[in-house]
């Protein structure tokens, strides 16, 4: 899908901190209205969006928050009016705001505070945030959990949670800049394709899924999960196989957090895009088995279905969205780590340097009485 297709929802993206900036850069490359906020001019320079879309929100020229979440919050509070003025000017005609941030850093973990500030614009807000991977520092995990809690209590509509542990496991390269860039791009690519389905004039809607359907899903309070699968002819031959592929994308696929109780979703969408030659081989009965299976998976929940006929030769794709979900199991795991590691860390910090036991050393003075020749004069070390 190309940028020639208009987006279904006019999103405007605000990135906070380094991770937020990296994710926002990907949206910018797809043509969305974007701006980056950071308390570090060094981090801002690294983001490849025009300088007039980058804004310093630190204090007195300080460079970053150094993982100090309280300092990051003070920065944002002091810059609240500036942030609001910029957002009003840059994102006036967008319909829905997206805030991107890495939970863990001192700046990005204040995404909840940013949501509070931006709520003055009276536009719905979705947050895309990351959770730290297991090998990250204890401060990161404590910040991430405090930041997530602040988000839950903020006026955010939907929350998209990226699991950096999944990114670490799945990445084939050891270079963090590289694996973050490719996973950011992978995710934003799918997001963007999903946001251009309903407006693609080359797709013939057989069962329509419109902009308003997508908007309803993004406005549903709770965690938002989405994924895309390229289907093989085998997948489309049986409703049962298709359902297994769908479960795969919701349970393990992509880089979003997993471990959800799918039956708790309050809305779901399944959109099939396939060329005529593939659709002609898919029996209506199998599609019924599939949609019936989806209903069983998510129990009582609003379901939006869409089928679009694409151009001959195109890949058959299935987009799957679940929303209104409670927090996933991965959050419990990071919370447990934050509590145990955080406790140990604060003990270490408050203990400081230990007293030395010098008993037994008092009477030892090896150089006492020795004569030294220094700077051409006799020095009696005992007398010095």
Instruction: Please report, as ranges, the residues that interact with ligand GTP according to CB under 6 A.
Output: 17-19, 22, 39-40, 43, 64-67, 72, 102, 104-108, 130, 132, 136, 140, 162, 164, 167, 180, 183-184
DSSP string, 339-383: HHHHHHHHHHHHH-SPPP--TTTTT--TTTT-EEEETTEEEETTT
Contact 19, 1 (CB under 8 A): no
Contact 132, 104 (CB under 8 A): yes
Find the shortest distance in angstroms from Cβ 218 to ligand GTP.
21
For ligand GTP, the closer CB: 7 or 132 = 132
Q: Binding Mg ion by CB under 5 A: which of 64, 222, 227, 239?
A: 64
Find the shortest distance in angstroms from Cβ 98 to Mg ion.
20
Give residues 185-214 in contact with Mg ion (rule: CB under 5 A): none
How does 83-111 read in b/e, with b if 16+ C-beta sit within 10 Å?
beebbeebbeebbbbbbbbbbbbbbbbbb
Closest-CA residue to 294 (of 315, 265, 260, 326): 265
For ligand GTP, the closer CB: 196 or 330 = 330
For Mg ion, the closer CB: 102 or 253 = 102
**How many other C-beta atoms are found inside a 10 Å radius of the C-beta of residue 331?**
19
For Mg ion, the closer CB: 46 or 169 = 46
With CB cut-offs between 5 and 8 Å by kind, which of Mg ion, ligand GTP, none does residue 195 bind?
none
Find the shortest distance in angstroms from Cβ 64 to ligand GTP.
4
Tell me the residue length of the chain. 384
Find the shortest distance in angstroms from Cβ 164 to Mg ion.
15
Closest-CA residue to 30 (of 157, 161, 190, 176): 190
Please give the backbone phi and psi of residue 363, each rounded to the nearest 5 degrees, phi first. Answer: -85, -5
Give residues 70-89 in contact with Mg ion (rule: CB under 5 A): none
Give residues 10-49 in contact with Mg ion (rule: CB under 5 A): 18, 40, 43
Find the shortest distance in angstroms from Cβ 38 to Mg ion.
7
One character per residue 148-187, x = contact with Mg ion (rule: CB under 5 A): ----------------------------------------
d(CA 383, CA 332): 66
Find the shortest distance in angstroms from Cβ 198 to Mg ion.
37
User: CB under 8 Å to 357, separation ≥6 — which residues?
Assistant: none
Q: Note the residues at the interface with Mg ion (CB under 5 A).
A: 18, 40, 43, 64
């Amino acid at each position: 899908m190309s940028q020639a297709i208009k987006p279904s929802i006019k999103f405007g993206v605000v990135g906070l901190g380094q991770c937020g900036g990296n994710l926002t850069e990907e949206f910018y490359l797809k043509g969305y209205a974007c701006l980056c906020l950071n308390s570090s001019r060094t981090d801002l320079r690294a983001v490849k969006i025009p300088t007039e879309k980058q804004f310093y929100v630190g204090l007195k020229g300080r460079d970053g928050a150094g993982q100090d979440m309280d300092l990051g919050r003070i920065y944002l509070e002091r810059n609240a009016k500036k942030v609001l003025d910029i957002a009003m000017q840059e994102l006036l005609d967008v319909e829905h705001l997206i805030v991107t941030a890495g939970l863990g850093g001192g700046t990005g973990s204040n995404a909840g505070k940013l949501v509070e500030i931006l709520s003055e614009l009276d536009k719905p807000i979705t947050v895309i945030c990351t959770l730290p991977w297991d090998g990250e520092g204890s401060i990161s995990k404590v910040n991430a959990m405090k930041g997530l809690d602040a988000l839950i209590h903020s006026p955010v509509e939907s929350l998209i949670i990226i699991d950096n542990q999944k990114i670490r496991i799945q990445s084939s390269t050891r270079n963090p800049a590289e694996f973050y860039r490719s996973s950011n791009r992978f995710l934003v690519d799918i997001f963007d394709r999903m946001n251009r389905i309903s407006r693609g004039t080359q797709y013939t809607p057989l069962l329509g899924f419109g902009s308003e359907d997508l908007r309803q899903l993004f406005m549903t309070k709770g965690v938002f999960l989405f994924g895309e699968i390229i289907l093989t002819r085998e997948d489309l031959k049986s409703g049962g196989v298709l359902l297994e592929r769908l479960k795969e994308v919701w349970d393990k696929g992509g880089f979003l957090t997993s471990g959800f109780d799918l039956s708790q979703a309050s809305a779901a969408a399944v959109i099939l895009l396939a060329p005529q030659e593939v659709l002609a081989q898919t029996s209506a009965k199998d599609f019924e088995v599939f949609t019936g299976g989806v209903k069983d998976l998510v129990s009582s929940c609003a379901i939006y279905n869409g089928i679009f006929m694409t151009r001959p030769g195109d890949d058959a794709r299935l987009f799957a969205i679940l929303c209104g979900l409670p927090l996933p199991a991965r959050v419990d795991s990071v919370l447990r780590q934050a509590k145990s590691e955080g406790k140990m860390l604060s003990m270490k910090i408050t203990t400081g340097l230990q007293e030395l036991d010098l008993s037994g050393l008092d009477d030892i003075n090896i150089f006492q009485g020795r004569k030294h020749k220094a700077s051409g004069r006799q020095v009696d070390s005992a007398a010095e």
